[in-house]
Homo-oligomer: A and B are copies of this chain.
Amino acid sequence: MVRKRIGVVLSGCGVYDGSEIYEAVLTLFFLDRAGAEAICMAPDIVQTRVINHRTGEETGEQRQVLLESARLARGKIRALAEVSVDELDGLILPGGFGAAHNLSNLATDGAKARVIPELVHLLQAVHRAHKPIGAICIAPAVVARILADQGVTVTIGHDAATAEVIRQTGNNHQQSRADEIVIDEANRMITTAAYMCASSISETGAGIEKLVAAVVQRA
């Protein structure tokens, strides 16, 4: 049996300056349990900031997104710009501030955010090919920015300000709980709020388990 190949877009390693670690690891865990192959990738760029995760303050260090993301992939990772849509049966974006600070500047520029071109290129190609896209936590807002004015429906839970950013991109927001997923079948888009509103890792895991199953089923 050929394993379905699902791209996982990482953005560093740590909730405050990179990928949210629990969301990324649980995505990889449920993909593997579902018999799918994860293809981890990250942009080869400098992190916008490095945060002391105990105090929340910037450290002034410089770190590379690709190398920190490699920690989450036990070294098996590719540069995002080198991955082609033809190699993938689907794509998943975990959340964390890395999505809003490294993959894009959504955290500062909202609906006018700039998304890194290699992600814009790959995600648009996956969408055009009608392959499923899963987005977790804040990542659905980044996806909405990339697919501006396409009327895609996503969830980031129930944060009013972020929901408004999504509407400003010309897409739709649907409220949800952390253990739920929202499916836009026409766009093959599956989203879950995870740590946008989850109060525990098991609640986050419940939503991600459903998201991974929905992506793999459509891949």
Question: In the complex the two chains form, is B13's CB within 8 Å of A14's CB?
Answer: yes
Question: Cβ of A70 < 8 Å from any Cβ of B?
Answer: yes
The answer to whether B201 touches A71 (Cβ under 8 A) is: no
Q: Which residues of A1-34 are within 8 A (CB) of B?
A: 13-16, 21-22, 25-26, 28-29, 32-33
Cβ of A29: which chain B residues have Cβ within 8 Å of it? Answer: 22, 26, 201-202, 205
Are B28 and A74 in contact, CB atoms less than 8 angstroms apart? no
Known: A14-B13, A22-B25, A25-B26. A32 touches B75 (CB 8 A): no
For residue A56, CB closer than 8 A to chain B, the reply is: yes
A92 at the interface (CB under 8 A from B): no
Output the nearest chain B residue to A38 by Cβ-Cβ distance.
B201
For A67, the chain B residues whose CB sits under 8 A away are: 52-54
- Complex Cα spacing A29 to B28, Å: 13
Size of chain A's interface in residues, with CB distance under 8 A?
30
The answer to whether B32 and A54 touch across the interface, beta carbons within 8 angstroms, is no
CB distance from A214 to the nearest CB of B (A): 18
CB neighbours (8 Å) of A26 from chain B are: 25, 29
Give a binary string over A119-151; 1 marks a CB under 8 Å from any B CB, 0 the rest: 000000000000000000000000000000000
Using a CB-CB cutoff of 8 Å, which residues 162-219 of chain A contact chain B?
Answer: 200-202, 205
Q: Does chain B have a CB within 8 A of A66?
A: yes
* Chain B CB within 8 A of A72 CB: yes
What residues on B are CB-neighbors of A201 within 8 Å?
25, 28-29, 32
Decide yes or no: A71 and B13 within 8 Å by CB, A22-B28, A25-B26 being known contacts. Answer: yes
- When distances are taken between beta carbons in the complex, the residues of chain B under 8 Å from A66 are 54
Residues of B within 8 A of A200 (CB): 32
A154 interface residue, CB < 8 Å from B?
Answer: no
Report whether B205 and A72 are in contact in the complex, using a CB–CB cutoff of 8 Å: no
Collect the chain B residues with CB atoms within 8 Å of residue A54's CB: 66-67, 70, 75, 77
Chain B residues near A61 (CB-CB < 8 A): 61
- 4 pairs of A and B residues whose beta carbons are closest in the complex: A14-B71, A53-B70, A25-B25, A32-B202
